[in-house]
Amino acid sequence: MITLTDIQQAAAGIAGHVPVTACAHARTLSEITGAELWLKFENLQFTASFKDRGACWKLARLDAEARRRGVIAMSAGNHAQGVAYHARRLGIPATIVMPRNTPFVKVKHTERHGARVLLEGRTLEEAAAFAAEVAAREQLAFVHPYDDPDIIAGQGTVALEMLAAAPGLDCLLVPVGGGGLVSGMAVAARALQPDIEIVGVEAALYPAMKSALDGVGRASGGDTLAEGIAVSAPGRHTLALMREHVREILLVDEVQLERAVSLLLNVEKTVVEGAGAAGLAALLQYPDRFRGRRVGTVLSGGNMDPRLLAAILTRDMVREGRITRLRIIISDVPGQVARIAAVVARLEGNFLDLQHQRIFTPLPARDSYLDITLETRDGGHLEEVLRELRAAGYAVHVLEQ
- Residue of 51, 58, 106, 210 with catalytic role: 51
Low-confidence ranges of the chain (pLDDT < 70): 401
Query: What pLDDT shows up at residue 101?
Result: 81
Boundaries of CATH 3.40.50.1100 in the chain?
Answer: 4-50+149-315, 51-142
40 is catalytic: no
Query: What pLDDT shows up at residue 359?
Result: 80
- Residue of 211, 220, 300, 368 with catalytic role: 300
Please tell us whether the domain made up of 51-142 is placed in CATH 3.40.50.1100.
Answer: yes
Class of domain 4-50+149-315: alpha beta
Query: What pLDDT shows up at residue 122?
Result: 85
368 is catalytic: no
Query: What pLDDT shows up at residue 401?
Result: 59
The 10s digit of each residue's pLDDT in 184-226 is: 999 999 999 999 999 999 999 999 999 999 988 888 888 899 9
Query: What pLDDT shows up at residue 279?
Result: 98
Query: What pLDDT shows up at residue 107?
Result: 86
As a whole number of angstroms, the distance between CA 329 and CA 119 comes to 52
Boundaries of CATH 3.30.70.260 in the chain?
Answer: 321-398
Task: Say which CATH topology domain 321-398 has.
Answer: Alpha-Beta Plaits (3.30.70)
Phi/psi of residue 198, nearest 5 degrees? -110, 120
As a whole number of angstroms, the distance between CA 4 and CA 110 comes to 31
